[in-house]
A and B are shown apart, each in its own frame.
Chain A
Amino acid sequence: MRMIEVQNLKKSFGKLEVLKDINIDVQSQEVVCVIGPSGSGKSTLLRCMNLLEEPTGGDILIEGDNLTAPKTNINELRQRMGMVFQQFNLFPHMTVMENITLGPKKLKGKTESEANELGTQLLDKVGLVDKAEVYPDNLSGGQKQRVAIARALAMEPHIMLFDEPTSALDPEMVGEVLQVMKDLAEEGMTMIIVTHEMGFAKEVADRVIFMDEGFIVEQGTPDELFNHPQNERTQAFLSKVL
């Protein structure tokens, strides 16, 4: 089943054309990693998928619903897509548990105890049950990002979007976050991950997309893209990062 269809997507900031005619289909349970040099448009692409950036042209369908159609309830649609940011964006005035349960309580009508039960399950999943009552400021970067993942999962999304989730982390904390993402992939979550972690992409992705200058230059299985890149721009990029 198709979870996401991106058709002829274009996005400009003023005169700067960041995305030029992007077409992607993402199937249910597929894990797609998007790689490419900075400024290639990969974060913008991800942000268009939940309308944090408004597309200049083209269509995006989420489970068949057109994102930019006037009838679409964007708030409802966003509940089906979790998003994890480079800068975590936890709510600093709330405890870890409150961060996770705010959405389920206010948007899904869960009671305090139902929400807390869900919160505890999710914290267990990301290995942070003991941090439930802690404020985000007292967590390490890796812990913050794991809470952010738990917070996104609390809305029981069908799709998870990751925008360079490990780029702001100290190297020793990257592993713990990638592990959580790997578990999630193994459970069958549909995931789109913008990343610089080539090792992770190789190991976990079903498909890798290489973007440059607003285009999808090349895509394929990790083996195809990393071991037998066809396009010379892909080859040049990979020779720099691998």
Chain B
Amino acid sequence: METIEVILEGLPTLLRGMGVTIEITVISLILAMFIGLILGVCSITKSRILRGFSTAFVDIIRGTPLLVQILFIYFGLPSVIDIDLTAFSAGVIAITVNAAAYLVEIFRAGINSIDKGQMEAGRTIGFSYAQTMRLIILPQAIKRMIPAIVNQFIVSIKDTSLLSAIGLAELTLSGQSIYAANYRAFEILFAVGVLYFVIIYSLSLFARWLERRLDVA
């Protein structure tokens, strides 16, 4: 068979895998943004408990390999607590938690980069802490954080390939299942690489457009 035929034959399976990769990435990153933002704000509050919780979360997640976290959630947890996780939900949890830990640091640094006078100005007008955060601090901080957030998104997209280890038929495992049958690893893995690149490059283009748009405002 010709190279091109091998790829075309595998393409439907690969595209299904790509669909799963995109799905899991989108769900995980939306959740991770919420958790990251909440814990990011926790990490700069006066409350020692909230700060401690946030720091512990970040340290534990960053201090252990993602592959171990994935295996732990999928194989480890169900053996001690009574939960039945599909590979997909285990994958969402793992990617969410992992991305959130890095996003906490991005949010914390981004918020801290805004001059203290902005919070004071907001508070003296009569806004609450939360209102000042929402109306004044975060709009400025998020603009500065976009490059770092996009970077984390890209890392997380690529990290989903590790979910092949728990049998989730995302893009990488889809590729593996094809060349396990036809022994055409070169063609298939090349195609897998191209498909990852398409996802990530689209995201990069979107991010550049977004940054330009925000710059005008």
Instruction: Please measure, in the bound complex, the distance between the C-alpha atom of A139 and the C-alpha atom of B120, giving whole angstroms.
Output: 21
Interface size on B, residues (CB 8 A): 18
* A122 contacts partner chain B, Cβ-Cβ < 8 Å: no
Greatest chain B CB density within 10 A among A78, A91, A151 is at A91
CB distance from A216 to the nearest CB of B (A): 24
Given known contacts A52-B120, A76-B126, is B115 in contact with A89 (CB within 8 Å)? yes
Greatest chain B CB density within 10 A among A78, A82, A89, A107 is at A89
CB distance from A219 to the nearest CB of B (A): 25
* A79 contacts partner chain B, Cβ-Cβ < 8 Å: yes
Cβ–Cβ contact A75 & B128, under 8 A: yes
Given known contacts A92-B140, A93-B139, is B117 in contact with A78 (CB within 8 Å)? no
* A87 contacts partner chain B, Cβ-Cβ < 8 Å: yes
Closest to B122 in A: A91
Instruction: Please measure, in the bound complex, the distance between the C-alpha atom of A103 and the C-alpha atom of B120, giving whole angstroms.
Output: 14
Closest to B129 in A: A75
Scan A55-73; emit 1 where CB is below 8 A from any B CB, else 0.
0000000000000000000
Q: How many A-B residue pairs have CB under 8 A?
A: 56
Scan B125-146; emit 1 where CB is below 8 A from any A CB, else 0.
1111001000110011001000
Chain B contacts for A83, CB-based, 8 A = 120-121, 124
Q: Which residues of B are at the interface with A, using a C-beta cutoff of 8 A?
A: 115, 117-118, 120-121, 123-128, 131, 135-136, 139-140, 143, 217
Q: Which residues of A are at the interface with B, using a C-beta cutoff of 8 A?
A: 50, 52, 75-76, 78-79, 81-83, 85, 87, 89-93, 102-103, 106-107, 151-152, 155
Query: A103-B125, A103-B126 given. 11 additional CB < 8 A pairs?
Result: A50-B124, A52-B123, A75-B128, A87-B117, A89-B118, A92-B140, A93-B140, A106-B131, A106-B135, A107-B125, A151-B125
